[in-house]
Amino acid sequence: MLPMISLQDVSLSYHSPNGETRAVSHLSFSVAEGEFVTIVGPSGCGKSSILSMLSGLIAPSAGTVQVNGNMGYMLQKDQLLPWRTIRRNAQLGLELQNKLTPENIAFVDYMLEQYGLGEFKDRFPAELSGGMRQRAALIRTLAVKPDVLLLDEPFSALDYQTRLSVADEIGTIIRKEGKTALLVSHDISEAISLSDRVIVLSGRPARLKKIHKIELSVADRTPMKAREAPEFRAYFNTIWKELDIHVA
């Protein structure tokens, strides 16, 4: 089966008047259908650049990137437009892709209802909590029925409490909808609790350091339950050490 996401020998450099910065170096990996993969790496190592390349916002300097199917992207902050109601915000992607059909509008309303935003759909973003806003942002992304989700640290702007529950909610929603997902994060426990595989990158320029297959012995795995698995600690320590080398 064709992977949903693949990078082959990808390198990326940024140019500025002060010189050339190598952000990514000879990186290859792929994500299979229905898989949830997280990329972790030291901050500023070029993790987000990988998503930018996959979404076509920037072109790699060398190598090939490929996404098979429709792509949805979740940004760090919810970026809900303050002058639109939650419902109209959730329809934004459809509007931009000229897909604002009655069926799709009904689909958005169904998801808002399903994920607990039904009674808030005519409210404005400022009236909602951070977690609810991020959920609305996810519905906006899911509305265009993407096959692949790219998540660029979508929980990092939330406070710790909210962050745990939102990561749990959103991880559960993504699994339920059967989407392929590639998450970028700097939070190791978040990565382990959400993913099938964790890709560890080196510091800048980002190179592939290790890929961990996350196998946890919990029934009905949800991100919250995953944190209680006996293997969790070991994965955490291993990845922590791998990330630490360049920092220390």
Is 53 a binder of another protein (CB under 8 A)? no
Q: Report the alpha-carbon distance of residue 129 to residue 121 in Å, rounded.
A: 13
Number of residues forming the site for another protein (CB under 8 A): 20
Q: How far is the CB of 22 from another protein (least distance, A)?
A: 23
Angle at 194 between CA 193 and CA 197, to 5 degrees: 100
Between 71 and 138, CB nearer to another protein: 71
Which 72-101 residues touch another protein, going by CB under 8 A? Answer: 73, 75-77, 79, 81-83, 92-93, 95-97
Is 165 a binder of another protein (CB under 8 A)? no
How many residues are present in the chain?
A: 248
Binding-residue pattern over the window 55 to 74 for another protein, x denoting contact by CB under 8 A: x-x-------------x-x-
Between 67 and 201, CB nearer to another protein: 67
Between 1 and 126, CB nearer to another protein: 126
Peptide bond into 205 cis (omega under 30): yes
Q: SS3 helix, strand, coil % of the chain, rounded to 5?
A: 40, 25, 35
Is 126 a binder of another protein (CB under 8 A)? yes
CB atoms < 10 A from the CB of 247, how many? 8
Residue whose C-alpha is closest to residue 89's, from 128, 51, 55:
128
DSSP 176-219: HTT-EEEEEES-HHHHHHH-SEEEEEPSSSB-EEEEEE-----S
Between 37 and 92, CB nearer to another protein: 92
Between 21 and 97, CB nearer to another protein: 97
Pull the structure tokens for residue 157: 């702007």
Between 17 and 230, CB nearer to another protein: 17
Q: How far is the CB of 127 from another protein (least distance, A)?
A: 8
Q: How far is the CB of 49 from another protein (least distance, A)?
A: 13
Binding-residue pattern over the window 141 to 160 for another protein, x denoting contact by CB under 8 A: ---x----------------
Q: How far is the CB of 75 from another protein (least distance, A)?
A: 6
Q: How far is the CB of 235 from another protein (least distance, A)?
A: 31
Q: Report the alpha-carbon distance of residue 115 to residue 107 in Å, rounded.
A: 12
Do 138 and 117 touch, CB atoms closer than 8 A? no
Output the CA torsion 35→41→45→51 (10° steps).
10
Q: How many CA atoms lie within 13 A of 138 on its CB side?
A: 28
Between 138 and 243, CB nearer to another protein: 138
Residues that bind another protein (CB under 8 A): 55, 57, 71, 73, 75-77, 79, 81-83, 92-93, 95-97, 124, 126-127, 144
